[in-house]
Amino acid sequence: MIGELTVPKFKISRVILNSVSGEALAWSIGQVTNLGTSPNNRPIILAGHRDSHMQFMSKLNIGDKIQLMMTDGVLKTYEISKLNITDKPELKISNISINHDSLILTTCWPFNASKSGSQRYIVLAKSVNGIR
């Protein structure tokens, strides 16, 4: 466990694991680590299955708050600023206006599909006021 994601609006809490392997995602959500950008400019990217741990993403709206506490014990609050659907499973960071205080949630799309596809649902959230 490397952290905890909380969505106060829905009283949801999820453990964050340090991997997005199939085994890890069977248990919870995971942090994507290989972004190809410098460590200081990396947003936090979390991924999970749409039919289990990330099912709540279908109910999120722009303006909703998300809280994140990593193992350093610092609680950060983020506000959703953008919802997007991509046609490819790879997330192009360069196409999204982000900084190191951004949080990105991703899961498969559409939410009610019975088979896995290439589309992804992306939630972009910006830090509200840094550390709380």
pLDDT digits 0-9 by tens, 62-89: 999 999 998 999 999 999 999 999 887 6
* pLDDT at residue number 91: 61
Residue 104: its pLDDT value, please? 94
Q: What is the CATH number of the domain that holds 39?
A: 2.40.260.10
- pTM for the complete prediction? 0.83
What is the average pLDDT across 116-124? 87
Among the listed residues 34, 47, 53, the one whose alpha carbon sits nearest the alpha carbon of residue 93: 34
Quote the number of domains for the chain.
Answer: 1
Inter-CA distances, 50 with 1, 113, 127, Å: 20, 9, 24
DSSP label at residue 3: E
Please tell me the distance from the alpha carbon of residue 109 to that of residue 116, in angstroms, as a whole number. 8
pLDDT at 24: 78
Q: Which domain holds residue 58?
A: 3-131
